[in-house]
Amino acid sequence: MTDAGFHLTPVDIRAQQFHRALRGYDPASVEEFRQQIADEVERLLRERAQMEERLQSLREQLKAFREREKALNEALVAAQQLRADTEQAARREAELLVREARAQADQIIQEARAAEQAIRREAESVQRQFTAYLAGFRTLLERYLSEVDALEAHRQDGSPPRPGPEPGPPRTP
């Protein structure tokens, strides 16, 4: 009777008929017990169906949670990769900026040195021109002074001054 394919339902229990025998059990007690068994089997079957529904619901929730976990893991891995990529890009950008800044600084220094040399050359040229101008001016003043001395000497001895070259502006070499 306990065959794996044998299933007893509440309807089967209620419909089961027993043969009457002499000195058998009280039919009312058997019927009442049969009703109790049928009710209990019916309750257990309902409970089992509810448990199976609950199990199915929990399996679906578990599947959803596993899918969420997988998606979160994938998102975490993607975020970590993005962070690593961003850090690497930032490092490369910083290195590029440093190289460009150094190149600009080198160029500015070279330009400043070239400007300094040009200014030095210009200052030397101005200094030479000023020295030449002073020398020319000194020569002119000495000529004028010599003329003044000659005029004074002629005035003292009474002789007429001799005409000399006309003094002009100082010449720069």
The domains of the chain are located at 10-157
Question: Which pLDDT score, from 0 to 100, does residue 1 have?
Answer: 40
Say yes or no to pLDDT of 5 above 60.
Answer: no
Model-level pTM?
A: 0.42
Say yes or no to pLDDT of 27 above 90.
Answer: no
**Pairwise pLDDT comparison (48 vs 160), residue with the higher score:** 48
Cα atoms in the 13 Å half-sphere on the side-chain side of 43: 6
Residues 6+ apart with CB under 8 A from 44: none
Question: Which pLDDT score, from 0 to 100, does residue 3 have?
Answer: 44
Question: Which pLDDT score, from 0 to 100, does residue 2 have?
Answer: 43
Say yes or no to pLDDT of 139 above 50.
Answer: yes
Contact 122, 146 (CB under 8 A): no
Question: Which pLDDT score, from 0 to 100, does residue 36 have?
Answer: 86
- Give me the amino acid identity at 55: L
- Cα–Cα distance, 101 to 113 (Å, whole number): 18
pLDDT grade for 6, boundaries at 50, 70 and 90: low
Say yes or no to pLDDT of 63 above 60.
Answer: yes
Say yes or no to pLDDT of 172 above 60.
Answer: no
- Cα–Cα distance, 169 to 54 (Å, whole number): 121
Q: Which of 2-6, 119-123, 139-143, 167-171 has the lowest mean pLDDT?
A: 2-6
Contact 133, 153 (CB under 8 A): no
Question: Which pLDDT score, from 0 to 100, does residue 155 have?
Answer: 85
Of 36, 44, 33, nearest in space to 7 by CA:
44
Mean pLDDT of all residues in the chain?
87
**pLDDT tens profile 94-105:** 999 999 999 999
